[in-house]
Homo-oligomer: A and B are copies of this chain.
Amino acid sequence: MSGLDWIAADWGTSHLRVWGLAGDKIIRDAASDQGMAQLARTDYEAALLALVSDWLPEGRITQVLASGMVGSRQGWVEAPYRTLPCPPLGGALALAPVRDLRLSVHVVPGLKQHKPADVMRGEETQVAGYLALHPNWDGVICLPGTHSKWVHVSAGEVVSFQTFLTGEIFALLSEHSVLRHSVSGWNDAGFADGLAQGMERPERLLARLFAIRAEGLLDGLDPATARARLSGLLIGAELAAAKPYWLGQRVAILGAAELAKYYATALEGLSVPTTLHDLTEISLAGLAAARTLLPEGQRRCVN
């Protein structure tokens, strides 16, 4: 592919997304479901080549910068966690073992916090991308998702963060629990209702969840309201516990468009100023920042 300078890869538990870049311009992109959960250590190279082999010029080495669970102990190569407080990127990138002579793959290390114990892989790159696009920014970054994260950033460093199992519990409950027959679709009023309940009395969560089922049986609660209420209850409980993060702060939300909008609605209801950002742009800015950690001679295709 003419003009290809490098490849950026967002490689999580359940997905792989790659972008071919000329400088900071996207000239190709692809995705698959070949995430860490599907792969043994020796499968990673093939999973990557399945998407990018056609892009690679012969006779030289193309650099790939990857972040996410690909760098975990069960990933392609372990990129040991860096310890807070620290800038979101730094230290050594991990070099993945590769057979194809056209490739060199570096993986971004995650971050760890000891008290309370917490870890991230992938989000540090998004935080770095946000800071690259908004220099000298202080505040709180919220990354909603399977494992939602709240990150306090000050003077270019990640000071603290906290992870919530919100998205994973929502998926388990709506697909595998007794509630699965009661929830389908979406309804904004149901979300607002659940959010208020979840924030006001988060300790009642385990009882409120069963009430969704009971109201379906007794009162004909419609499945769209039920599913939105389930989401609201969980996000409300998360926001109640994350209050030390958002209180008196401005919050940048980095997440999938629809989910990010639900968090923005909730935070705006609490008079917290929020901004929403395109996740692809943020991720690419972060991986481009990671690329600057490579020695100068390795940043472009190597002849």
Task: State the A residues within 8 Å of B (CB).
Answer: 73, 81, 112, 114, 116-119, 147, 162-166, 168-169, 172-173, 176-178, 202-207, 209-211, 213-215, 217-219, 234, 237-238, 240-242
Contact at A147–B219, with CB atoms within 8 Å?
A: no
Most buried by B among A112, A173, A177, A210: A210
- Interface contacts beyond A162-B207, A166-B206, A169-B206: sample of 15 additional A-B pairs, CB < 8 Å, sorted by A: A112-B214, A114-B218, A116-B211, A119-B214, A119-B217, A147-B178, A163-B210, A169-B173, A172-B172, A172-B173, A202-B202, A203-B237, A205-B237, A206-B237, A206-B238
Contacts of A215 on B, CB cut-off 8 Å?
Answer: 117
| Given A119-B217, A206-B241, A237-B206: A168 in contact with B177 (beta carbons within 8 A) | yes
Contact at A209–B165, with CB atoms within 8 Å?
A: yes
| A164 contact from B162, B206, B217, B242, Cβ within 8 A | B206
| Given A172-B172, A178-B147: A218 in contact with B165 (beta carbons within 8 A) | no
Contacts of A202 on B, CB cut-off 8 Å?
Answer: 202-203, 205
Contacts of A238 on B, CB cut-off 8 Å?
Answer: 206-207
- Name the residue of chain B whose CB is nearest to the CB of A209: B165
Q: How far is the CB of A89 from chain B (nearest CB, A)?
A: 20
Q: With A and B bound together, what is the CA distance between A214 and B115 in angstroms?
A: 10
| A118 contact from B81, B163, B172, B211, Cβ within 8 A | B211
Q: With A and B bound together, what is the CA distance between A285 and B205 in angstroms?
A: 34
Q: With A and B bound together, what is the CA distance between A237 and B240 in angstroms?
A: 15
Contact at A214–B117, with CB atoms within 8 Å?
A: yes
